[in-house]
Amino acid sequence: MNKIKDVAVAGAGIGGLTVALGLAQQGVDVTIFEQASVLAEVGAGLQMSPNAMKVLRQFGLEDTLRPYAFEPQQATIRHFKSGEYYLKAPLGQAAIDRYGAPYWHLHRADLHHVLVEACQKAGVTIQLGATVTGYQKSDQQNSVVLCLQDGSQYETDLVIGADGIRSVIREQMLGKQAPDFMGQVAWRGVVPVSKLNAIHVQPDACVWAGPGRHLVTYYLRGGEWVNFVAVEERGGWQSESWREEGDINELRSAFAGWHPEVTELLLAADSTFLWALNGRSSLRTWFQGRVVLLGDACHPMLPFMAQGAAMAIEDAYVLVASLMSKPLPDALASYEILRKPRAVRIQNMSKDNTGLYHMHGGLFGQMKLNAVKVASQFVPSAIQGKLDPVYGYDVVKAAAAWC
């Protein structure tokens, strides 16, 4: 079998690092090309659900990540003003018992740091300040050339485009097309618990649902920090940048009159970053020749199922498994066949949650939340029925059966 021996990865985000680690652990020479001059992540949290944790465990990272983790006890939805609970779904030990892996909250920078160290230990080369501009055919039949902004080139067996929603690899493969602004922006930030004297934030993965906006809170780093993601619907995004420093007073004003657990948290925040929430329609293909896409480069999604990073991690595992078990053309086809339907399904679920979290439809929106409350109290199996296909999915087993 003509297995690959050398791989170039565009992008040192969560997905790029994970796939690089998986390949390096299989003896493949991997070089990551990252345009940033310093490896750093914006201060924000990630929800690592059991489906993602199974991959991190398989790659030997669970014990290393444990000291950084916070384990929430419930997933909840609450009324923006009264604090009434619409949903209480057990996590903690219940998640481990039901899904076979924990549900953890991690600081993005901590996961990124652990992945970088694991990659370096496994022999991955990480080139910083290396901006990828595209790829081209090689004179050699079994290789492809990655092109860099400084004019240099790197010949390799395979190029993996893990370079995010504005991927230059995707653009060359499928044509130039700006991402779709999804009509929403998100403020993100962290607050040290030591600053929260007036309130106690519940140790849950909590969604505060309100008219035209919602806010998510959860703990990080063993409970030392509270992470928040505040989402507001907007008609347009005027900035040329997709991410910028946010106005903390504008954020506080947008959520004025909400429950004290929200307003006091935002009052304690010193700064925030503002993101435009963008997306793309399903791509017609994820690969071309010896080039393949991964993560946000091929399936960006709204964060309303907290599965963006998890999907990139799942992608990484399947791509590695496919490449290690099949010749290249079949491997890339198998990767897309196994991953695309699930990624599209999670994209749609995330988009559908907008109406629920933002009380779309006035009274009808309130009725939908009340229906969730009734189901949560009296028919919890209905709630689990929605979460089980997401959290209970075992990509390690799925890849073993498929690949």
Q: Is 317 a catalytic residue?
A: no
- At 41, is the pLDDT very low, low, confident or very high (cuts 50, 70, 90)? low
pLDDT tens track for 162-203: 999 999 999 999 999 888 889 999 999 999 999 998 789 999
Condensed to tens digits (0 to 9), the pLDDT of residues 85-97 reads 999 999 999 999 9
**Percent of the chain with pLDDT strictly greater than 70:** 96
pLDDT at 1 over 70: no
How many domains does one find in the chain? 1
Which pLDDT does position 42 carry in this prediction? Answer: 65
User: Residues of the chain with pLDDT > 90: what percent?
Assistant: 79
Answer yes or no: is pLDDT of 24 > 80: yes
**CA atoms lying within 13 Å on the CB side of residue 46:** 25
- Asked whether residue 30 is domain-assigned, the answer is yes
Cα–Cα distance, 5 to 157 (Å, whole number)? 7
249 part of a folded domain? no
The answer to whether residue 257 is domain-embedded is: no
Phi, psi of 25 (to 5 degrees): -65, -20
CB 303 within 8 A of CB 228: no
**pLDDT tens, position by position, 253-312:** 999 999 999 999 999 999 999 989 999 989 999 999 999 999 999 999 999 999 999 999
pLDDT at 116: 97
Residue 119 binned pLDDT confidence (cut-offs 50, 70, 90): very high
CATH number, domain containing residue 372: 3.50.50.60
Is the residue at 218 inside a domain? no
222 occurs within a structural domain: no
Tell whether 208 is covered by a domain.
no
What is the tens place of the pLDDT at every residue in 225-266? Answer: 999 999 999 887 766 556 678 899 999 999 999 999 999 999
**pLDDT tens string 360-400:** 866 666 778 877 777 777 677 777 878 999 999 999 999 99
Q: What is the pLDDT of residue 217?
A: 97
pLDDT recorded at residue 40: 74
Catalytic residue, from 85, 218, 317, 391: name it: 218
- Structural domain includes residue 253: no
Residue 29 falls inside a structural domain: yes
- Structural domain span for residue 34: 6-178+280-402
